[in-house]
A and B are shown apart, each in its own frame.
Chain A
Amino acid sequence: MATATFKIWRGDASGGEYRDYTAEFDQGMVVLDVLHHIQAEQAGDLAIRWNCKAGKCGSCSAEINGKPRLMCMTRMSTLPVDEPITIQPMQTFPIIRDLVTDVSSNFKMKRSIKKFKPRPPDTEDGAWLMDQQDVERVQEFRKCIECFLCQDVCHVLREHHMHDEFIGPRHLVYAAALEMHPLDTEDRVADLKKLHGAGYCNITKCCTKVCPEHITITDNAIIPLKERIADEFYDPVTKLFRIFQPKKK
């Protein structure tokens, strides 16, 4: 057992402060374990959001020593414990209480993206045929656990608060998964430009760096979407060509 000091942000929408808690931990423990001990023994009302404790649900996002991370996947052994460990809620979203933020804007953004619309089934029993190779591209995007850490770190949302104009990296990944889905027949490109503000992203790649699922958000999702937008809106030749070609094979 070793001991560490945690500076945990306590408060609500009206304001708050960092409070110090000292707790013991084993080497195998993750930050969430230690917070649970603090909750059980010292601060029964410490608000934390979590579910799976295995990096699968994306509930326990917070900022640990200033870095956006999943608390359940951050091992104590990876943190310096000679200084206090700072834990604060994600800064991009409104505070509810302590480490819990109001991420509901994300659910609204998602609903504004047109849903999946498949081509008719390929076989008589209502199934589709797809190559593993072709599905892998979207499977990468579909790994997303909706932890919203990428939204938290994106400066367009974090510093410029453009929640109404820009859907953020998570939802660009979502849109990319739909657009590149081998069966999808919907067109979302105009929406992405006009409604979803894809142009606000200036490819800083901060989102990619924090993604716990290692989705290459910028290179594989955002840049190809930007290319589609450019093709459709700024390149009349490509655009004409597209009109006479089915959008996807």
Chain B
Amino acid sequence: MAEFTTFEHDVLVIGAGGAGLRAAIEASACGCRVGLVCKSLLGKAHTVMAEGGMAAALANVDERDGWRVHFADTMRGGQYLNNWRMAELHAKEAPDRVRELESWGAVFDRTKEGRILQRNFGGHQYPRLAHVGDRTGLEMIRTLQDHGIHQGIDVHMEVTVVTLLKDGQRIAGALGYDRERGRFRLYRAGAVILATGGIGKAFKVTSNSWEYTGDGHALAYDAGADLKDMEFVQFHPTGMVWPLSVRGILVTEGVRGEGGVLRNSEGRRFMFDDIPDLYKNQTADNEEEGWRYVIGDKNARRPPELLTRDHVARCIVREIKAGRGSPHGGVYLDIGWIKEKISNAEEHIKKKLPSMHHQFKQLAGVDITREPMEVGPTTHYVMGGIDVDGDTQMSTVPGLFAAGECAAGLHGANRLGGNSLSDLVVFGKRAGEYAAKFAKEHGQPTVDQGQADDAMRDSLAPFDRAAESGAENPYEIQHTLQDLMQNNVGIVRNEEEMAAALDGIAKLRGRAKHASAHGHREYNPGWHTCVDLNNLLTVAEGVARSALERTESRGAHFREDHPEKVSDWGQWNLILRKGTDGAMQIERRRIAERPAELTTIIEEMK
């Protein structure tokens, strides 16, 4: 059998984005020996790309804000499918987590009084996002990284975990390989935290990087954990559409928060044409009021461009389909227009949105202070993920925890912008704390060598197939899957297309068994792609199955064959589990009853 090196940890954290780093710091502070594994170099995880900000009801800009409003906003945005306990904890604890970042060296933009400045974002009643220009994620990950490297955490960079190991029912560790040399590593650990991020690479147009192949989702699923809400994939309304090669790269919602408006080819601000009932009370009905909101008039309601992402994305699709799109198949997003309103507009835009300015200039040759951007929806975030307990973040497998984007619950059917960065630190901390507790209480598990051997054999199989006659190119399978998901399980869904997608996925699974890698194991991306394929196929199937099952439209999930929201569906989450025969099983689970106190808050804020 292949050789491997063994590492011993009390808590193993898989993933070094905001959630993983925060979890590792906490577990280490609890006195555990912590291992932190990531596929890229430290500080390069997806979190680094986050732009707009992190939501926390600090009430620095509008004193009317508080955890109750943040809670109600999150639940409304998630169309009440959220794990209400998580939404409550998140709203209560986010401010402390922001201040904690500051105490570790983060430097947020300031208000006139010298406090942390907060900006407007879609679905948030008050300016709530602590930010640093449009590079908030960089600030967060660097702060956690620079703090974390002094905490005695064992960091394993550029290591891909391929399987979780179990000792009976409980978790026992993980097996991975280092990308540089292709050598296997076995991690024995009393508790494991998954913080692996999202699944965007299952789609063709996405703001996500190669890392987002749904590894954590698939690892947990294969280890017997439940996945939840997988039908809810967020398509961010504004990705770049031109040039083709940058299609999908994100244009932060911060542009709209700073006053950017959406127009169709006729110059019309089409977002005024369709304002959902749930938001009528909170939304401006004319341009003048919308602008007053942007500049901080507390009596004004927010402009319709700041409605939730699911809705804005669908309005954009509607305009494009009706032939009112821009030349390259998007719509126009204009921030330059604010020069009609303020004198130093150009400077203001460059200061508030420096990386957007740079990105468009560099990649598209567009000066956003003068010209409108062309934008269209892009696959951005997965609300669904590993089902966890709201307080401890433990999954249905004892000793296996999850936090951040790979965990489900906080966001329900649709995530509000800015609620992810705060999610990472609130629940990263909790996962770290409770994983440490679990590891201490349960001691080190025993590792079954046979599980490790199987995983190593499967991982190396692509090399043996290179010489076979039916050998397949893994990149080609990946591209086919991305097209399939984009076309059949995208923003607008129907039964026929999703059934076709499931068929297609089954066929691709067959082909993936022949995916082959050439050359040797050292830093070989062809091989890495073969390994990741299985994860992508699992999450793609999960999304398609859940989406087919939910015969209504809610949040990010829109069915043209069931365009209405069905109130009974509001009681149910969809759960996926690997059956004993290896097939994917789906089940409805009723949402736990909400305490009266939380219901009152929701009602009061309606």
Binding site for B on A (CB under 8 A): 12, 26-30, 33, 39-40, 44-59, 73, 75, 96-98, 100, 102-104, 107, 110-111, 115-116, 118, 121, 125-132, 135, 138-139, 142-146, 178, 181, 184
Contacts and interface: CB of A to CB of B under 8 A. Distances in A.
A231 B166 CA distance: 60
Given A129-B115, A178-B105, A59 B526 contact: no
Contacts of A53: 209, 246, 249
A39 B105 contact: no
A28 B246 CA distance: 8
Nearest to B181: A96
Contact of A138 (B107, B246, B473, B525): B107
B606 interface: no
23 contacts: A28-B364, A39-B526, A47-B525, A49-B41, A50-B210, A51-B40, A51-B209, A55-B358, A56-B135, A57-B43, A59-B40, A96-B180, A97-B523, A104-B157, A107-B149, A129-B115, A130-B107, A135-B109, A138-B107, A142-B138, A142-B142, A144-B142, A181-B105
B464 interface: no
A146 B43 contact: yes
Given A56-B49, A127-B116, A139-B107, A45 B242 contact: no
B110 A131 contact: yes
A132 B108 CA distance: 9
Interface residues of B, number: 67
Contacts of B115: 127, 129
A45 B526 contact: yes
B32 to A, nearest CB: 20
Interface in B522-559: 522-527
Interface of B: 40-46, 48-49, 96, 99, 102-105, 107-110, 113-117, 132-133, 135, 138-139, 142, 146-147, 149-150, 157, 180, 209-211, 242-246, 249-250, 355, 358-359, 362-364, 473-476, 479, 517-520, 522-527
Interface centre among A29, A53, A131 (most CB of B within 10 A): A53
Contacts of A54: 49, 246, 249-250, 359, 363
A45 B525 contact: yes
A39 B475 contact: yes
Given A116-B105, A139-B132, 19 more contacts: A29-B245, A40-B475, A44-B525, A44-B526, A46-B525, A51-B46, A51-B209, A56-B138, A56-B355, A73-B362, A75-B363, A97-B522, A100-B180, A115-B105, A116-B147, A128-B102, A131-B110, A135-B107, A142-B138
Interface centre among B46, B146, B355 (most CB of A within 10 A): B146
A26 B479 CA distance: 19
B523 A98 contact: yes
Contacts of B358: 55
In the A-B complex, list the 4 residue pairs whose CB atoms are closest, starting with the nearest. A28-B243, A44-B526, A129-B114, A116-B105
Contacts of A143: 135, 138
Q: Is the interface of A mostly helix, strand, loop or mixed?
A: loop
Contacts of A111: 149-150
A45 B109 contact: no
Contacts of B99: 125-127
Nearest to B242: A28
A73 B246 CA distance: 11
Given A115-B147, A146-B43, A28 B244 contact: yes
B105 A51 contact: no
Contact of A75 (B210, B359, B362, B517): B362
A189 B465 CA distance: 58
A132 B150 contact: no
B109 A59 contact: no
Nearest to A34: B245
A115 B210 contact: no
B276 to A, nearest CB: 31
Contact of A51 (B110, B210, B242, B364): B210
Contacts of B44: 51-52, 57-59
Contacts of B102: 127-128
B518 A44 contact: yes
A30 B363 contact: yes
